[in-house]
Amino acid sequence: MKGIENAAESDNKKRLIAEARFLRATQYHYLASYFKNVPLVTTVLTGEEANVVVKETQANILSWCAAEFVAAAADLPRFKDIPAGEVGRACKQAALAFAGRTYMLMKDWSNAADVYEEIINYGDNEIHATYSELFVPKTGTSNKENIFLIAYKENYFGSGLPQHILSAKDGGWSLSNPAGGLFEAYEFVDGTPFSYDDPRYNPNNLGENRDPRLDYTIYYNGATFMGTEYRMSPDYEASKKECIDYASEASRTGFMWRKYFDENPIADLQSYSAVNPVIRYAEVLLSYLECLVEDGTATVDQSVLDRTINKVRGRADVNMPGITETNKDKLREIIRKERRVELAFEGIRFWDIMRWNIAHEVLVGEIWGAPYPYSASYATKTKQVDPTGNCRWYVGRRDFRNPEDYTWPVPQGEQNINPNLRD
């Protein structure tokens, strides 16, 4: 930062300083989200000074972050002015969107709505017609929806996502498997909630009659992916590497990630040209609507719904029925469900449930996976039989302590260096 400040005055200097302020503020946004009260350092410190810094309150840190994002936005180029060769650099809309996230965490709904509305009014961004294209190398960097993203480059700055996420059949480690709760969150195609009791539910084709985003996001037993039919059933014994089994690496839940991968073979699982959106225009629209719902003075009518949530649900290859509910209590739950399915695997869900203060309600209890009602060996292979009778695979249990787990502890090593960091 000091080197930049000492450079001759220029538009490029202003931009570089704005980018540095933006990136610094994003890190403090996350620090305040994880740890709540942390030191806020805005000057260069000596080693001795760094070891005696004191904590600042979360409220003051977030206020500082919001001001930094707004200030950075003033000196950053608009999204439309970022050349193709600079995709991934911060733009005005990215800074404003992070300001919106920060204001929402502060429950400052009015200011949050204002910065989101500013993004909308610029008109630089729009909902991309094809959902799956947002997350793959060829198309993920050349659309108007991905406002701020991380673009990895194979053999140069590659991502190891395939190594960690793909099944053993594809050479991966299958370290992350979607749970049944996400699968159940996707509606039927007419917009009604999913139910195992509904005749439209087909256990032989879990994506049939469902929100298309389900098949764009996860795959399951019998699905074809990368030219192969995947068999993740308790009855499949041909290969332990492909069987849903606790000793295998296929899937502990019976579900696998599809999002971030196209149908093309991946040459190097450890160096993939992945595209990870950090801010999408869909999030901007859903967040703007949430702010209007939570702001006691704002009005939400059909026109507001049509230019926010219904734009997201109505993208060409999704085409889910529009929302007409304007009762704010009911609409709040609709928005939360929409954020869950639209933004799945984008690093937002955890912060949403923490922000809504419902983690102690939703991150507890038994975890269930895919349903296998016609399996001959389900009852003998699952660790626990589904008490609902839906024959979901048993995965395990999770617990969330309230209020302790809402705040991450400062690492003990840091506390040992600086006693001021102890609670």
CA dihedral 166, 169, 170, 174 (to 10 degrees): 20
Q: Which one of 328, 356, 384 terminates a domain? A: 356
Q: Which of 117-131, 226-240, 244-258 has the highest mean pLDDT?
A: 117-131
Looking at the structure, tell me whether residues 254 and 318 fall in a common domain.
no
Looking at the structure, tell me whether residues 100 and 20 fall in a common domain.
yes
What average pLDDT does this structure show over 123-146?
96
pTM recorded for the entire structure = 0.95
With respect to residue 156, please indicate whether it lies within any of the assigned structural domains: no
Distance (Å, whole) CA 85 – CA 149 = 14
Looking at the structure, tell me whether residues 130 and 18 fall in a common domain.
yes
Say yes or no to pLDDT of 249 above 60. Answer: no
Looking at the structure, tell me whether residues 255 and 294 fall in a common domain.
no
281-294 vs 328-342: helix crossing angle, rounded to 10:
160
What is the DSSP code string of 167-207?
-GGGT--------HHHHHHSPBTTSPPP-TTSTT--TT-TT
Q: Band of the pLDDT at 239, cuts 50, 70, 90? A: low
Q: Strand ranges (DSSP E) for 258-334?
A: 275-280
Q: How many CB atoms lie within 10 A of CB 271?
A: 19
Looking at the structure, tell me whether residues 7 and 109 fall in a common domain.
yes
Looking at the structure, tell me whether residues 72 and 99 fall in a common domain.
yes
Looking at the structure, tell me whether residues 29 and 89 fall in a common domain.
yes
Distance (Å, whole) CA 367 – CA 252 = 11
With respect to residue 31, please indicate whether it lies within any of the assigned structural domains: yes
For the ranges 115-119, 226-230, 385-389, the lowest mean pLDDT is seen at 226-230
With respect to residue 155, please indicate whether it lies within any of the assigned structural domains: no
With respect to residue 200, please indicate whether it lies within any of the assigned structural domains: yes
Distance (Å, whole) CA 209 – CA 373 = 18
Looking at the structure, tell me whether residues 55 and 144 fall in a common domain.
yes
Predicted pLDDT at 248: 64
With respect to residue 268, please indicate whether it lies within any of the assigned structural domains: no
Distance (Å, whole) CA 175 – CA 164 = 6
With respect to residue 129, please indicate whether it lies within any of the assigned structural domains: yes
Looking at the structure, tell me whether residues 87 and 26 fall in a common domain.
yes
With respect to residue 168, please indicate whether it lies within any of the assigned structural domains: yes
Looking at the structure, tell me whether residues 346 and 383 fall in a common domain.
no
Do 287 and 293 form a contact (C-beta atoms < 8 A)? no
281-294 vs 92-105: helix crossing angle, rounded to 10:
30
What average pLDDT does this structure show over 157-161?
91
From the number of C-beta atoms within 10 Å of its C-beta (0-12, 13-18, 19+), residue 192 rates as exposed
> Domain containing 350 — which CATH number?
1.25.40.390
Average pLDDT, the chain: 94
Q: Which one of 307, 332, 356 terminates a domain? A: 356
Fill in the DSSP letter of residue 194. P
Looking at the structure, tell me whether residues 116 and 34 fall in a common domain.
yes
Task: Using DSSP bridges, classify how beta strands 218-220 and 255-257 pair: parallel, antiparallel or unpaired.
Answer: antiparallel
Backbone angles phi, psi at 80, to 5 degrees: -65, -20
Look at the chain and report how many structural domains it folds into.
Answer: 2
Predicted pLDDT at 173: 87
Looking at the structure, tell me whether residues 233 and 194 fall in a common domain.
yes
Do 230 and 219 form a contact (C-beta atoms < 8 A)? yes
With respect to residue 172, please indicate whether it lies within any of the assigned structural domains: yes
Range of the domain at 206: 163-263+357-423
Encode pLDDT of 184-205 as tens digits: 999 999 999 999 999 999 999 9
Say yes or no to pLDDT of 246 above 70. Answer: no
Q: Which one of 311, 333, 356 terminates a domain? A: 356
